[in-house]
Amino acid sequence: MSYASAYDYYQQKGAKDPHAAEEIDLWINNTRPLYEQMMGFKDNYVLKIQKGKFDKNLAIKGLVNVVKVAITHYNKQGFDWRVSLSEHDKMLVAKALFEDMWDEYLCKIKAEVPPKPARRFNNETYKYLKRYKSKPEAERNKKKVLKTGRKCRVFSSKDGYDLYVRGA
């Protein structure tokens, strides 16, 4: 942020309680579990940017959950002052966290063109199913065992009968 302090930022943006918003902002950045949770979001945003599916509004909405967890965490510490923020103030804190994250990490990442997906089948089954296009048609054209003997098997196929002799 280009403001003198977080308090000035929240006051300028119209927060109802800029002191509480500043306190939660500092609490998130200085408490290890909350900061690690926020960095988990950063890793997810990096992947989204690389895939070209990043949406800033959804990113801020995800950080609102971190702010809610931070408020609960702060209030459980047993301080004399309990923090409660309006939805508007929670969104402002999330926007400030996102702007800091964007300036520090995310603005340097470029979107990459995703590679083409690999073909699922590269074997004879793929070619066979591709030739007959539909599964029922492929099932009709498969060979069926008509009779099995000790040394031979007789198959039915589209062309007629085939004889398979073991060992020949």
- Is residue 127 in a domain? no
Nearest to 70 by CA among 99, 19, 34, 23: 34
14: left (phi over 0), alpha (psi -120 to 50) or beta: left
My answer on whether 92 and 18 are in the same domain is yes
What is the model's pLDDT at position 140? 58
My answer on whether 18 and 58 are in the same domain is yes
**Integer Cα distance of 73 and 37 in angstroms:** 13
**3-class secondary structure per residue, 35-93:** HHHHHHHHHHHHHHHHHCCCCHHHHHHHHHHHHHHHHHHHHCCCCCCCCCCCHHHHHHH
My answer on whether 26 and 104 are in the same domain is yes
What is the model's pLDDT at position 108? 78
What is the model's pLDDT at position 104? 85
* Regions in the chain scoring below 50 on pLDDT: 1, 121, 138, 145, 161-164, 167-168
My answer on whether 17 and 95 are in the same domain is yes
Domain count, the chain: 2
My answer on whether 89 and 20 are in the same domain is yes
My answer on whether 83 and 152 are in the same domain is no
**Integer Cα distance of 129 and 18 in angstroms:** 65
- Is residue 114 in a domain? no
Q: Would you state the structure tokens that stand for residue 153, as one six-digit string?
A: 């098997």
Q: Would you state the structure tokens that stand for residue 134, as one six-digit string?
A: 């539909």
In this structure, how many other beta carbons lie within 10 angstroms of the beta carbon of residue 51? 12
**Integer Cα distance of 168 and 162 in angstroms:** 14
Mean pLDDT for all residues in the chain: 77
Domain housing 90: 6-108
DSSP state of 142: S
What is the model's pLDDT at position 97? 93
Per-residue burial over 2-18, b if 16 or more Cβ lie within 10 Å, else e, is: eeeebbebbeebebeeb
My answer on whether 21 and 92 are in the same domain is yes
- Is residue 49 in a domain? yes
